Amino acid sequence: MGYTTIFDGIFHLNKQLLERETLYLLEFARTRRMKRNPAILQNVPDAARTAVGLPLGEEACYFVNESWDEYSEDSIINYNRPPKTQPGLWCKWIPTSDSRGIQWSGVEKFYDYVEWLQYLIENFIEPWGYALRGEVNWQGEREEDVGMIWVENNVIILPEGAEELLRYAVSPVSVPKVVWDCLEAVEAAGKPLTDWYGIIDRAVELGHGEAALWIKPNMDKYLDGWERGFEFEGKVIKMTDIEI
């Protein structure tokens, strides 16, 4: 199951990472990015993070000390959801062996790789005073699934729109009013929003045929909303965090 993409090349830094920065980025890539309760982790040792001066962050997004089992396990809100600011459960960009670049870790099934690179640039590389550049080619399992990531001075030139890709990946999905009204009706009727198998039939049953017509060809967006919530004019509906 899953889909593997292979990456060839290195993104080069304008200067060598400090040892503590290299260690933190390696730990960040090693750990599953899970939504956590930061209040439980306030007094938990997290040496790699504190060495680079990072806070726990929203939903403990910067926490990396999973070896502290007693409290790190208790802090998990949802094992299958990343913190709201992060695009996925695993980031597989790591420092090179000489700490002068960023490369793929070699671990299979790396998803949201453009979004994760943008995240690293925004949250670590640029704030720490580095500039990233270079080209990395990718090859997916399908022969036609090929491409290149091109970075210049911390800006992802290709593919275009990397900043928007990251924003989309961590934001509720915007839906038209007919869909919003349907989701409210479904929620009020006690039918879980996470029951995506029956959402179209349920929408029709409740008299929201127009919403069903939107959902059917936009199932990918609906599934994204299932994970991150649905938004209309500043209001957000979020499903209850569950284990999937």
Whether residue 242 is contained in a domain is answered as: no
54 and 115 both lie in a single domain: yes
- Last residue of one domain, picked from the residues 109, 134, 169: 169
Whether residue 142 is contained in a domain is answered as: yes
Share of the chain above pLDDT 70, in %: 92
pLDDT tens digits for 118-159?
A: 999 999 999 999 999 999 999 999 999 999 999 999 999 999
pLDDT at residue 237 in the model: 80
pLDDT tens digits for 93-105?
A: 999 999 999 999 9
Confidence of residue 239 (pLDDT cuts 50, 70, 90): low
**Using an 8 Å Cβ cutoff, are 65 and 87 in contact?**
no
Q: Which two tokens stand for residue 212?
A: 């069903």
76 and 179 both lie in a single domain: no
138 and 185 both lie in a single domain: no
Confidence of residue 19 (pLDDT cuts 50, 70, 90): very high
114 and 196 both lie in a single domain: no
Tell me which range, 3-17, 63-77, 157-171, is most confidently predicted by mean pLDDT.
3-17
Whether residue 112 is contained in a domain is answered as: yes
**Whole-number Cα distances in Å, 149 to 28, 103, 121, 174, 185:** 21, 12, 14, 27, 43
- Cα separation, 67 vs 8, in Å, equals 32
**Using an 8 Å Cβ cutoff, are 229 and 187 in contact?**
no
Mean pLDDT in residue range 207-222: 86
Q: Which two tokens stand for residue 56?
A: 């726990």
The domain total for the chain is 2
Query: Does pLDDT of 185 surpass 80?
Result: yes
203 and 93 both lie in a single domain: no
Long-range interactions of 237-242: CB distance < 8 A, separation 24+: 237/180, 237/183, 237/184, 237/187, 237/193, 238/172, 239/192, 239/193, 239/194, 240/192, 240/194, 241/35, 241/77, 241/78, 241/81, 242/78, 242/194
Q: Which domain holds residue 189?
A: 173-237
17 and 88 both lie in a single domain: yes
- Cα separation, 28 vs 15, in Å, equals 20
Query: Does pLDDT of 197 surpass 70?
Result: no
pLDDT at residue 241 in the model: 39
Query: Does pLDDT of 16 surpass 70?
Result: yes
Confidence of residue 242 (pLDDT cuts 50, 70, 90): very low
pLDDT at residue 243 in the model: 36
165 and 86 both lie in a single domain: yes
pLDDT at residue 68 in the model: 65
